[in-house]
Structure 1
Amino acid sequence: MHILMVSSECAPLAKAGGLGDAVAGLARALGYLGHRVEVILPAYDCLHLTDPLPQPQDRPFAVHCGGRSIAVQVLDVPLDGYRCRLLAPEPAYPLFARGRIYGEPDDAERFAFFACAVSAYVHALDEGARPDILHCHDWQSGLVPVLLKEDRRAVGAHLGTNASTAGILPIPVCYTLHNIGYQGRFPADLLNWVGLRSLPERLGHWFVDHSESELINLMQGGIAAADAVNTVSPRYAWEVIHTEQGMGLQDWLQRHAFKFAGIVNGIDTRVWDPAGDPWIPVHFDLETRARKEDNRQALCRRLGLAADPRRPVVAVVSRLDWQKGVELILHGIQYALQNDAQVVLLGAALDPQIAARFESLRAQYADSPHARLVLGYDEQLAHLIYAGADLILIPSLYEPCGLTQLIAMRYGTVPIARRVGGLADTIQDANDSIAPLEARTGYLFDEPTPDALEDALGRALWLWREHPQAFDQLKCHGMRMDWSWERPARQYLELYQYARQTQGTS
């Protein structure tokens, strides 16, 4: 199968968060399964390239946005198991020459242009070069399914052609929602800017943001137009339809539930591999897990913590924002220290108020031999924390999938997490008497309250101290789990087949 993914991120070229890892991991896994995979990205000026920017191979094509015709060049980058196509607008329109991926005041126009460029690129391909499936990711590509489904006269508007676009053929589209907290809500003029001035009533309704009548919702439009839609865990798929986690899209997703599914993300088990990780001092696996203690000592040395074998190391590796449960993280740190544990935090906050609170806590514990807060992100330190910590705290208010718990379990670090989204799908509570013993991998709590967190963290600290052999078995259960991308990749192939079979029924 020829698969074309459309994304604003793809590691290692462009990564601002988990989206970049997920797209790269899935693309690589599909490529290893024998499929032809291409990922199409904006040609940011901040791409992480080992070589100079590749030279274009084909002639540029024109994209019409904002009343202008903009030439776009396609650059090709071969990666491990797949290829990346970079769409580079002409230098006079530096939409992606901003030094960063997101955070610009014209992000709406930047990614609307990207969607139009993708549509134009696909329609310009020779028939034999067209993909069998288009796989779009998050709000930044939400316009793409609509542009591909639009009637030919409207498509002609942004292609810069006349009404006789007879060569346009439909391509089935799968649309993945990685985080419904970010939906692409913008002023309605954006549709005019991309040339969709006279949408049919049916299509116009797709974009109406029912929570804010003055805005359009790009994710909502993408959901309506796509042939198959999914999010990144079954539990989160249920939550966004049936609870406030849908962030206003509950009714819309319920309406499209017939084509909506949940597939848990994987992790790159070559990057996250305690048996061969180049960023940890001592390698270990399930059979040699006692060596994890050496990494614990190395972590304490690096951060200047006391090497105290009587105190478990409780870690936090996280973005520091409201979604991740900031208040619960702060409370968990205090509770762990009050209960004779050591605490290591690695994370960064964009919100100034959140950043100030963690700066204050860091200063408070600057001289403590049992606590260290590193406010920023350090990839090497993250690997060492996973390898050296005993427990990891993940008290998210909502979590579409989560990679932290998957990585932690692979490194023998036991997660304590809220029972939401992908955390609920991937962690089984150690005290769940219904679950098979070998399936129990961590500790869960339900309510986003300090008392609930204390109960879960307290149970974990008690087991670590009072029953070390049982705690060791809990680590083993997590290390045995297979969180690679192979199984999710096969599930996506089934979703692609569904999209191909039901194309046009949305």
Structure 2
Amino acid sequence: MQIAMVSAECAPIAKAGGLGDFVQGLAHELIKSGEAVEVWLPAYDVLRRELISGLDEMGPRLQVHFGGQQIECRLLRGNVEGIPVLLFDPLSGHRFFGRSCIYGEADDAERFAFFCSAVLAHFAQLERPPDVLHCNDWQTGLLPVLLAEHQGEEAQARTCYTLHNVGYQGKVQPSLLEQVGLDAAALMTPGRLADPHEPGVANLMQGGIRYAGFVNTVSPRYAWEVQSTEQGMGLQSLFQENRHKFGGILNGIDESVWGPEVDAHIPVNFGPGSLPKKAVNRRELRLRLGLQETEKPIFAVVSRLDRQKGIDLIQHAVRYALAEGGQMVLLGSSLDPAITRAFESLKAELGSGPDCHLELGYDEALAHLIYAGADMILIPSLYEPCGLTQLIAMKYGTVPIVRRVGGLADTVFDAHYSDKSFEARNGYVFDDATEDALEGAMSRAIALWRRFPQYFRQLRANGMRGDYSWRKPAQDYLKIYKKLCALSVRAGTG
């Protein structure tokens, strides 16, 4: 099967968050299963081109209709750690992808609308188009719409559309639709792209949901939440209307990258059968961050710092961990200046004492060392479509303390209150987004760590033995792809 994964990110060459890990991990596993996969990606100027082998231009160049112009676009093909990649490089004064960043520009909607138009132009010229186009998030939400309007139902039926975060929907002015050659007047109806809550605004994610052959979120719990709770961010009825083609598939992690047995970033490799070696990594973590060597549990936060992640609860957790005789390590950064200032203030308040280190930035090697050395990791998210942090942490024997939302609820089972067998329990869970609820879970974890260390070790081992790989999710996606292929055949002969 020929599969094109269309995305704004792909680790390790273009990563701003979990989407990059998703594309890399799923592509690797599908290729291992014998499928022909290619990742289609904008040719950002910040791409880590040193990691792309055999990069070369392939012809012919595309002529992309955008904004009343024909914009020439190069296609560059290469390979990233065994994954074929196709890069779309527009030759235009707009410098769509020459901004020294992936996201964060005022014209992001126009940049990714151009990308969708370029993908459409490439698709149209192929003798044998891909069997499946796997689109991701609002940045590619226009692609199923463009395929339906310009290529017909057979092409539209090929699209799988994965939603990694419904909080970002791509709300734009209808004039953007005209820029990519669509009839805005025809599409700006409630049954198509007109946003249900903001009159006169086009919703790109809504368009992708309505037009794609299949739509999914990245965990079953989050699929239920966006249909049934405020986590649908205004699209609850849309998800309910499309439930016949909607579901949730839990993400995996790439164990060749995130596996303590093989991780090149940590001082000593270890696994479920050699858990005592984790202590060496704990000592190295303390040494690197200037923490004292002591009989205290190390709490950690490794997170993007934004409101979704429960930043007020994170700040409270830092203080509570220290007050209860623990150590605290935080690694995180924010695009929001107000949030950055808040954490800078917290760092200044706490200083660089022997039990606390706040690292405001992102350091890949340090993230690996934190997972390997910490005892517990805090994830008090207000909502969490899937979450990779808890999966990685458990693989490294670090016990998660999480709020019962989204993928966190699907993967973390409380040490005391879960209905799972003891061998399946792997962390601590709380429900309310309050300081009291967070403290309750943290205090239970601290008590077990201090009073019953053998049971705490069992929690670590339970988590490490879990299968968080891409093996099962990849098979679930393959089942969807096969259904889409059958749909496109029927649409082509209808």
What is the TM-score of this pair, normalised by structure 2?
0.96
Secondary structure in structure 1 of the residue aligned to 2:234: coil
Q: Give deviations 1:353-395, integer Å, cap 9, x for gaps.
A: 2111211111122242111111111111111110000000000
Q: Which amino acid aligns with 1:243?
A: T
User: Could you say which residue in structure 2 is the equivalent of 1:122?
Assistant: 123
Q: Which amino acid aligns with 1:143?
A: L
Displacement of 1:474 in angstroms is 0.5
Secondary structure in structure 1 of the residue aligned to 2:58: coil
Displacement of 1:90 in angstroms is 1.4
User: Could you say which residue in structure 2 is the equivalent of 1:206?
Assistant: 192
**Residues 185 and 139 of structure 1, relative CA distance in 2, 3 Å threshold:** same
Q: Give deviations 1:228-283, integer Å, cap 9, x for gaps.
A: 00000000000001000011111111110111110111111011111121111111
**Residues 16 and 314 of structure 1, relative CA distance in 2, 3 Å threshold:** same
User: Could you say which residue in structure 2 is the equivalent of 1:188?
Assistant: 174
User: Could you say which residue in structure 2 is the equivalent of 1:360?
Assistant: 345
1:277 paired with 2:269, answer no
1:349 paired with 2:334, answer yes
User: Could you say which residue in structure 1 is the equivalent of 2:411?
Assistant: 426
Secondary structure in structure 2 of the residue aligned to 1:62: strand
Displacement of 1:54 in angstroms is 2.7
User: Could you say which residue in structure 2 is the equivalent of 1:460?
Assistant: 445
Task: Map 1:75-114; keep pairs closer than 5 Å.
Answer: 75-114=76-115
CA contact (8 A) 2:260 2:396 kept: yes
Secondary structure in structure 2 of the residue aligned to 1:267: coil
CA contact (8 A) 1:148 1:171 kept: no
Residue 217 of structure 2: which of 225, 231, 248 is its match?
Answer: 231
User: Could you say which residue in structure 1 is the equivalent of 2:145?
Assistant: 146
User: Could you say which residue in structure 1 is the equivalent of 2:33?
Assistant: 33
Displacement of 1:465 in angstroms is 0.2
Q: Give deviations 1:130-155, integer Å, cap 9, x for gaps.
A: 11111100001001001111155xx8
C-alpha distance in 1 between matches for 2:395 and 2:190: 47
Residue 493 of structure 1: which of 467, 478, 491 is its match?
Answer: 478
C-alpha distance in 1 between matches for 2:326 and 2:410: 28
Displacement of 1:207 in angstroms is 0.6
C-alpha distance in 1 between matches for 2:337 and 2:34: 47
Task: Map 1:317-396; keep pairs closer than 5 Å.
Answer: 317-396=302-381
C-alpha distance in 1 between matches for 2:132 and 2:116: 16
- 5+ long unaligned stretches in structure 2: none
CA contact (8 A) 1:36 1:82 kept: no
Q: Give deviations 1:404-447, integer Å, cap 9, x for gaps.
A: 00000000000000000000001111112521111100000000
CA contact (8 A) 1:111 1:141 kept: yes
Secondary structure in structure 2 of the residue aligned to 1:58: strand
C-alpha distance in 2 between matches for 1:381 and 1:170: 43
C-alpha distance in 1 between matches for 2:224 and 2:374: 32
Q: Which amino acid aligns with 1:396?
A: S
Which deviates more, 361-370 or 462-471? 361-370
**Residues 204 and 360 of structure 1, relative CA distance in 2, 3 Å threshold:** closer
Q: Give deviations 1:161-202, integer Å, cap 9, x for gaps.
A: xxxxxx996651110001001000011111111111366469
CA contact (8 A) 1:115 1:143 kept: yes
1:246 paired with 2:247, answer no
Q: Which amino acid aligns with 2:30?
A: L
Root-mean-square deviation over aligned CA pairs: 1.8
Which deviates more, 383-392 or 77-86? 77-86
C-alpha distance in 1 between matches for 2:441 and 2:335: 29
C-alpha distance in 2 between matches for 1:462 and 1:344: 20
CA contact (8 A) 2:157 2:487 kept: no
- 5+ long unaligned stretches in structure 1: 156-166
1:174 paired with 2:175, answer no
CA contact (8 A) 1:61 1:71 kept: yes
**Residues 427 and 72 of structure 1, relative CA distance in 2, 3 Å threshold:** same
Percent of aligned positions with the same letter in both sequences? 54
C-alpha distance in 2 between matches for 1:233 and 1:372: 32
C-alpha distance in 1 between matches for 2:136 and 2:167: 14
C-alpha distance in 1 between matches for 2:106 and 2:54: 26
User: Could you say which residue in structure 2 is the equivalent of 1:472?
Assistant: 457
Displacement of 1:204 in angstroms is 7.5
C-alpha distance in 2 between matches for 1:431 and 1:296: 26
C-alpha distance in 2 between matches for 1:285 and 1:244: 40
C-alpha distance in 2 between matches for 1:199 and 1:134: 27
CA contact (8 A) 1:9 1:16 kept: yes
User: Could you say which residue in structure 2 is the equivalent of 1:159?
Assistant: none
Which deviates more, 2-11 or 193-202? 193-202
Secondary structure in structure 2 of the residue aligned to 1:368: coil
Secondary structure in structure 1 of the residue aligned to 2:110: helix
Q: Give deviations 1:479-500, integer Å, cap 9, x for gaps.
A: 0001111111001011112223
